[in-house]
Amino acid sequence: MATRTAVVGDKERRRPMERARQATLVRHLTVALVAGLVLYVVSNALSAFDNLQLATMAYSFTAVAGLTVLTGLNGQVSLGHGAFMCIGAYATAKLLGEGTDHLPLALVLLLAALITAVGGVLAGAAAARLRGPYLAGATLALAVGLPTIADRFPTFLGASNGLTVIPSTPPASLGATFPLERWQAWITCLGALIVYVLLANLMRSRYGRAFRAVRDDEVAAELAGLHVARVQVLAFVVSAACAGLGGGLFVVVTQLAAPGAFALTLSVALLAAVVLGGLGSLWGAALGSAAIVLIPQWSDDLSKSLSLSSNVQANLALAVYGALLIGVMLAAPRGLAGAFDWVHQQVRRASTRREEEEQA
């Protein structure tokens, strides 16, 4: 794709850029629409349990996508995104309250994401001063420490018992026998698609470029006029808001917000999904989210069908998960997205070489 590198006047520069921006938005919306249609068709064909799995993948995607932007694009390793899901989940649970009389679900989820964004500002401001292992250690403490706030306010936050909400039932227009799980899959998939469009646009925008610049060379970015700390806080806020939405959708699916859901294993799973899918890649985030839901499921089914001893059965999914993380990092550190890219490059290289040979 040739680009004009000659100096051009402001007006002339603005027109093609506007066109480019609109094209990006249209492109992403189209992808989202197509994906949405596919998901609609698929969810109608799935059983109740598989719809539940789909919903789980969808809310995981919102959190994983945010994290991949933070870690892949902006270079900040966060072990604590489970804590942001926790904030979003509890906010949603409190806003939905005990009965059915509450704000519309969409508004509740938006508020939950905003509340989590505030948390993201605080965490981001603290994180901006930290680098590498110190950031990892601090976010680890966040992941483990934050859920315990619920124990401190047992009446308000339900302690380890947690807060329960009544499930959002499908509207009457869909029929009386419309399965709850499919409705939940629709809500969560819609959330996931919205997050996809927003993040995809963000990544292609000037903010996305700022994120990458700060990741690659802080000093150069500072010299180029970027306020490094502000960029890093922004990245944190965006990813936290996405995780908060994920937490809210989690409550929609499980009807429960309890500290036990947000243990360290959740933060590890989110990071694993980011890495398995490929750092900084949104559809890698989708594949990674699918992986962290399906792999334990498949290992579980495998161990049941092999009728292994109960000890082995209970732990096989975890063992596969751990081995997979190690294996992928050793063999394909750029994850599935990286693997696809490599294949794509090889194909292009092969076709270019063939063209050159033909010309020669």
Residues in region 31-90 near another protein by CB under 8 A: 31, 34-35, 38-39, 41-42, 45-50, 52-53, 71, 77, 79
Q: Is 16 in the site for another protein (CB under 8 A)?
A: no
Among positions 228, 230, 255, 295, the unique one binding another protein when judged by CB under 8 A: 255
Does the footprint of another protein cover residue 129 (CB under 8 A)? yes
Query: Please, which of residues 134-193 interact with another protein by CB under 8 A?
Result: 134, 136-138, 140-142, 144-146, 148-149, 151-152, 154, 159-162, 164, 177, 179-181
Binding mask 209-248 for another protein (x = CB under 8 A): ----------x-----------------------------
If one asks whether residue 329 binds another protein (CB under 8 A), the answer comes out as yes
Structure tokens, 281: 């890649």
Q: Least distance from C-beta 11 to another protein, angstroms?
A: 26
Q: Are 269 and 292 in contact (CB under 8 A)?
A: yes
Q: Are residues 328 and 275 in contact, defined by beta-carbon separation less than 8 angstroms?
A: yes
- Region of 11-19, 109-117, 239-247, 260-268 interacting with another protein (CB under 8 A): 260-268
User: By CB under 8 A, what part of segment 281-320 binds another protein?
Assistant: 282-283, 286-287, 290, 294, 310-312, 314-316, 318-319
Q: Least Å distance between CB 18 and another protein?
A: 19
Q: Which residues contact 270 (CB under 8 A, 6 or more apart)?
A: 60, 63, 64, 67, 81, 82, 85, 243, 292
Q: Does 256 bind another protein (CB under 8 A)?
A: yes
